[in-house]
Amino acid sequence: MDTIRLVGLVGICVVNLPFIALPGAAGLVLPDAGLDRLAMLMVETLFQAKFFLLFSFVFGWSFHLQDLAARRAGASPARRHLRRMVALAVIGCLHGILVFPGDILVIYALLGCGLVAVRHLSPPALARLALAMLPLAALCLTVLWVSLPEAAFSQPPAGDALSRRIDEWLSTLGFLLVFQGPLAFGAFCLGLAAGKSGFFAPDHPWQRRLDRALPWLLVIGLPLNLFHAAATGGVLPAEWALTTLAGVWALAPGAPILAAAWLALILRLTRRRPLPEILVAAGRNSLSIYVLQGVLGGVTFYLVGHGSVGQARLLVVALPLAGAAILALAAWAVVAGRGPLERLLRRMSGA
């Protein structure tokens, strides 16, 4: 699970960096340069909306572990979890306002409260609930497709710097809640189902089924996501409105299918060549790594200038930047164990 977290963090960094490095809504606009255009399409096809689902899956799985731990300690699992979500929301608000307005922690905190209501469901019922999120996701993506052109290119809010940051964060939070919310909650449910069914036990039958399904996941998932990227990225003619709408809808099944393929690949590679223990230890500090990635990205492009690097170079920069954050927390784990934000979260939640 720590390996899945690490791979998820690298993918999230690849997706987030253009929105940190480029001014305004430039991260949503297909560039003119050929290499930059190819890089953006690659990120949209392989990374966008896939790696946050991996992270969401792990979130649901960890909820199951925390639920068991609370019961063993004689505490109320629901009360402890809600305190943890409040603490996560506080950290997320600060991160969204001060570091990166595209923060996902507040969304996780809001959706995570819903796990309390479904924690007693059986794994099959949780899987059915996750499937029910797909048409809801398609509906939400349609709403964004209709409203995004006007919202994305509106004038920036007036006021002092802090007020502008808060307004930018709130508008981005609303966008991401609609864009990511249904699929993220579905992944939460699948992660919880995986925890209840013992999915990560060695030689679990569902792991073998997922591994056998990998070729089909790629055959179905890659074209769906490529079609989404081309249709919504301006590659296809703008007058093909129905084609563009179909591309919007393609993300609802396409993103979970390709995320499942990524999960199968990670599990297969981990079985063959496990990560060094120092990196696994870093994966236990994913909250600190996630925030540090935003800090490093913000500092880097404050110094070199926002908009000074194109999408192709950002794709190259994202990998060492993610690696630097991972190695920093790996070194921290050797000295102090839990990361600073993990310690703070535990203290704030009383867990």
Residue 145 lies inside a defined structural domain of this protein: yes
162-187 residue pLDDT tens: 788 888 899 889 989 999 999 999 99
Residue 178 lies inside a defined structural domain of this protein: yes
Q: How far is CA 14 from CA 27, 80, 318, in A?
A: 12, 33, 5
Q: How far is CA 44 from CA 209, 217, 327, in A?
A: 27, 17, 27
129-145 residue pLDDT tens: 999 999 999 999 998 88
Residue 208 lies inside a defined structural domain of this protein: no
Tokens of 223: 């074209």
Residue 143 lies inside a defined structural domain of this protein: yes
Residue 86 lies inside a defined structural domain of this protein: yes
Question: Of the given ranges (75-89, 146-160, 191-205), which has the lowest mean pLDDT?
Answer: 146-160
Q: Per-residue confidence at 72, pLDDT binned at 50, 70, 90?
A: confident
Q: Percentage of the chain surpassing pLDDT 90?
A: 50
Q: Tokens 């060549």 belong to which residue?
A: 273
Q: Per-residue confidence at 152, pLDDT binned at 50, 70, 90?
A: very low
Tokens of 51: 């790696």
Domain count, the chain: 1
Give the residue numbers spanning the domain of 136: 56-200
Does residue 183 contact residue 256 with C-beta atoms inside 8 Å? yes
Rounded to 10 degrees, what is the CA torsion of 279, 283, 284, 285? 100
Q: What pLDDT does 154 receive? A: 46
State yes or no: pLDDT of 157 exceeds 60: no
Residue 314 lies inside a defined structural domain of this protein: no
276-297 residue pLDDT tens: 888 888 888 999 999 999 999 9
